[in-house]
Every structure is written in structure tokens, then in C-alpha cells.
């Protein structure tokens, strides 16, 4: 966020040129060294702004503020006392804010009617609220203790602030097309830092997304 504010504070160097509203679909994945990947689906909405870089017409800086709502459920089997041992995670929901800071390279085609572009740079993903409801068929005491050690307590709970860190630093890359006032793009977020607060677990969250934007 500090980078985005710094860009806004340099009007002599960068000029806000293009403002957009944006909405789309995303599929975050939380990967861990202790359990199988956890997939979510979600929607993303927000506003963005592009800053022109003087004397470099094909490059710009893209930033903004986006809100994401995610949802999903999982079922995982564990062989503690019987083949039917499993946990089910229902009603998983997440609320996030994203602040991208991307360098965008663009090229215009067809007599300035269509623009193709590629982007790359960091994204600051901030977790607001993430709940999950855990049900389990595990009855073995050792299995339940192992499950608790991974932070999967039976019942409903918010994973912040005890289970997960709110700050998720990501690196993103992608590309898209722009025509008239409409823009369509897709990208992938690579989770960099460990968001787990548990000593035995390392977790990173990233995933892909597709969005459409309209220039104001």
C-alpha cells in the first residue's frame, strides 16, 4: 500500500491517466506441506488507476483497491482408525482486499483500435475475515490431537488472527486485450510468504483470476 501511495505523491513524475471499475472471477488455492491443496471460488470487484510513465509511452503503472469474496468446501480422508476417517470443511468463506502494483507493457494494433498488454508485479493481499466449519468422523484420540495441531478444530471459527496471518505477499503476472473502453485480462498470483501461524505448517495462497474492466 505504501508503494501505491508513493506513486500518487509524485505528480511531477507519474500522472493518473485512466480510471476503471473492475469485476471478475478468481480461484484462490491455499497450498500446505501438511494437507492437500484447498481450492476456493470467488468474485472480485473494485476500482483501479493507471499512471503514465513520461517518455516511455508503452509502459504504465497499474494499481487500485479490489475486494474479493471467496467460498468453497472440502472433504479429506485420513487413515487413523478406519478407512472412513475424514474431515469435511463446510461453509468456507473469505473476505479479502487486494492492492496490485503492476508494471504494464502495451502495444496497439489495428489502427489504434485494439491494444494488447502484459503485466507483472507485486500484489498485497489482506485477509479481513475467513471462516470455516469443520465436521469430522475421526474418533481416534491420536487422530483428533493431530488434527487440532493443524488448527482444524471441530465447529465453526474465524481463521484470523490465530490460525492464519492476514498479510499475504504475492507476485502476479498476466495479460489481456483492450478495445474501446472495455478491457479483459487474466493473471496468476504466486503466494510468496508463509501465512500459517502454526510452527509445523507452511502455507501459501495464490491462484488465477479473470476480470473485465470499464474505463470511466
Would you say residue 209 has pLDDT above 80?
yes
Q: With left for phi above 0 and alpha for psi between -120 and 50, is residue 207 left, alpha or beta?
A: left
Taking Cα atoms as reference points, which of 18, 25, 4 lies closest to residue 187? Answer: 25
* pLDDT tens, position by position, 65-115: 999 999 987 766 555 555 556 666 667 789 999 999 999 999 998 777 899
Judged against a pLDDT cut of 50, whether residue 189 lies above it is answered with yes
CATH number at residue 56: 2.40.160.20
The pLDDT value recorded for residue 5 is 47
Cα–Cα distance, 85 to 75 (Å, whole number): 11
- 43/68 Cα distance (integer angstroms): 6
Query: For 134-150, what is the mean pLDDT?
Result: 60
Residue with cell 491494444: 115
Residue 39 has pLDDT above 90, yes or no: no
- Can you give the pLDDT at residue 3? 45
The region of weakest confidence among 9-18, 88-97, 114-123 is: 9-18
Of the pLDDT bands very low, low, confident and very high (cuts 50, 70, 90), residue 57 is: confident
* % of the chain with per-residue pLDDT over 90: 50
The answer to whether 191 touches 211, Cβ cutoff 8 Å, is no
Cell of 216: 470511466
Q: Residue 8: which pLDDT band, with cuts at 50, 70 and 90?
A: very low
pLDDT tier for residue 38 given thresholds of 50, 70 and 90: confident
Whether 127 contacts 94, CB under 8 Å: yes
What value does the mean pLDDT take over residues 54-63?
90
Structural domain span for residue 90: 2-215
Looking at residue 76, what is its pLDDT? 61
Q: Could you give the number of structural domains in the chain?
A: 1
Q: Return the C-alpha cell found at 42.
A: 470467488
Dist. CA 86–CA 62, nearest whole Å:
44
Per-residue pLDDT, 112: 75
Determine the pLDDT at residue 13: 63
Amino acid at each position: 500500500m505504501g508503494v501505491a501511495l508513493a506513486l500518487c505523491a509524485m505528480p511531477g513524475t507519474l500522472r493518473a491517466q485512466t480510471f476503471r471499475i473492475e469485476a471478475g472471477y478468481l480461484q484462490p488455492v491455499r497450498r500446505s506441506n501438511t494437507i492437500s491443496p484447498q481450492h476456493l471460488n470467488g468474485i472480485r470487484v473494485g476500482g483501479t488507476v493507471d499512471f503514465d510513465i513520461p517518455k516511455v509511452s508503452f509502459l504504465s503503472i497499474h494499481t487500485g483497491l479490489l475486494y474479493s469474496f471467496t467460498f468453497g468446501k472440502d472433504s479429506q480422508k485420513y487413515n487413523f482408525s478406519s478407512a472412513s476417517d475424514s474431515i469435511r470443511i463446510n461453509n468456507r468463506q473469505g473476505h479479502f482486499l487486494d492492492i496490485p502494483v503492476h508494471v504494464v507493457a502495451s502495444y496497439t494494433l489495428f489502427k489504434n483500435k485494439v491494444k494488447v498488454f502484459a503485466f507483472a508485479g507485486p500484489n498485497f493481499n489482506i485477509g479481513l475475515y475467513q471462516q470455516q466449519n469443520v465436521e469430522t468422523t475421526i474418533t481416534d484420540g491420536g487422530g483428533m490431537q493431530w488434527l487440532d495441531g493443524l488448527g482444524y478444530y471441530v465447529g465453526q471459527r474465524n481463521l484470523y488472527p490465530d490460525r492464519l496471518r492476514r498479510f499475504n505477499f504475492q507476485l502476479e503476472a498476466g495479460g489481456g486485450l483492450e478495445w474501446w473502453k472495455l478491457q479483459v485480462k487474466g493473471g496468476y498470483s504466486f503466494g510468496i510468504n508463509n501465512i500459517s501461524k502454526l510452527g509445523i505448517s507452511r502455507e501459501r495462497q495464490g491462484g488465477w483470476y479473470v476480470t473485465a474492466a470499464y474505463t470511466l
